[in-house]
Amino acid sequence: MAIQLPNPIDAPRVNGHAKSRPGVAELDPSRLNVTVTQSPKSIPPVETLKFGQTMTDHMLIASYDPEHGWSDPEIKPYGPICLDPASSCFQYSTNVFEGMKAYVGPDGEVRLFRPDLNMARMRRSAGRVALPPFDTDALLTLIQRLVQLESRWIPNIQGYSLYLRPTIIGTRPNLGVTASDHALLYVICSPAGPYFGAGSARQISLLANVDVVRSWPGGTGGYKLALNYAPTLKPQQSAELQGYNQVLWLLDGKVTEAGAMNFFAVVKQDENNWDVITPPLDGTILPGVTRDSCIALSAAHPSRTTLPHLPETLHLHAHERTLTMSDLKQWHAEGRLLEAFTVGTAVVVTGVGRIGYDRTDIVLPEHACGRGPVARALYERIVEIQEGKFEWEGWSVVCKTANA
């Protein structure tokens, strides 16, 4: 199933990729310069890893200016970057990022999971805030080179990976409210374990927020922009003070996302037919790579594959349709709401134990592994694909060698 993407006005395109202005340099992997650190860091024990707090030895960086185009890309030791205080990234939040992971499987190969979708989404997001275009194939080649160099940082333990953060920011050095014709593109890496803590098998809790809207029709909710995240931090603090892990974002009573994750509900038709429902991509919801993967794998069970621990007699029916709090309350009252879960690159698939709404809790069944049967099946299958233990639709992409 192809991931759906918003459709802003694109830059000129060649072979499906954004094209820079004629006469300026494209992002070119053949011009890559590599400077290897002379002071490699010690890799911390995996049990001490906290998401996004440990950075690897190197970073990838390239800059764009309207006269010359893209600079020679460089892989160099990780460190600070220098920016003009008037840069548009500071003044007008012209900041775009992606979340990806690299994995190592039992064969020792380093892999990326559906990176073409990340590159397509990053290009779309950059176009939404009028940042200079870049060739996504070139960027992916450069990312693979960086991942190969940093491969010693990838924990060879199931459920662990190397988190990648490709970022592009506007660096136009003046205060005019206009599109940034200068940009900085960089990629940093961080070894990562389970997002909610190593060894955690608990289900998370969500507080439905009826007072603050995360995104709206015609807005930017369907793009991975930094400006979407800052306004969610205060409601997140409020939810935590009330004893919940994350916010369940609503729009006129309709469920959109959970924290920075996509939301799913499993609803029983009968013993052999379960609906796996997630809200549709209406422009208010980020088109998540894990979301798309869960939809595709659910739809394939049991006709094209059998998911772990689920019987072949059980038919999953994947739906992208409007999901309201009234729906969840009714299904729960009828005993048909079997489970709910959230998905994303960082968390993969995480079970939901309760949802606070209108001063009461919708309490879902407890599961020893922290995930209901569908969430557990999807989590295990996706991790198997990511690590190269299960082949499916070419989703697991082996990184090219540094000399390729």
pLDDT for res 91: 97
Confidence check: pLDDT of 272 > 60: yes
Q: CA nearest 138: which of 16, 222, 48?
A: 16
Confidence check: pLDDT of 1 > 90: no
Q: Whole-model pTM?
A: 0.93
Distance CA 134, CA 17 (A): 8
Q: Give the C-alpha distances (Å, rounded to integers) separating 227 from 101, 172, 369.
A: 23, 17, 35
Confidence check: pLDDT of 78 > 50: yes
Confidence of residue 21 (pLDDT cuts 50, 70, 90): low
- Average pLDDT estimate for 166-191: 97
Mean of the per-residue pLDDT values for the chain?
Answer: 93
Q: CA nearest 298: which of 267, 330, 337?
A: 267
Q: What are phi and psi of 156, to 5 degrees?
A: -90, 55
Name the 3-class secondary structure at 115. Answer: helix
Q: CA nearest 388: which of 194, 110, 140?
A: 110
Domains of the chain: 13-192 (3.30.470.10), 204-386 (3.20.10.10)
Residues 6+ apart with CB under 8 A from 143: 60, 100, 112, 115, 164, 166, 187
Distance CA 190, CA 58 (A): 10
**Cβ–Cβ contacts within 10 Å for residue 66, how many?**
14
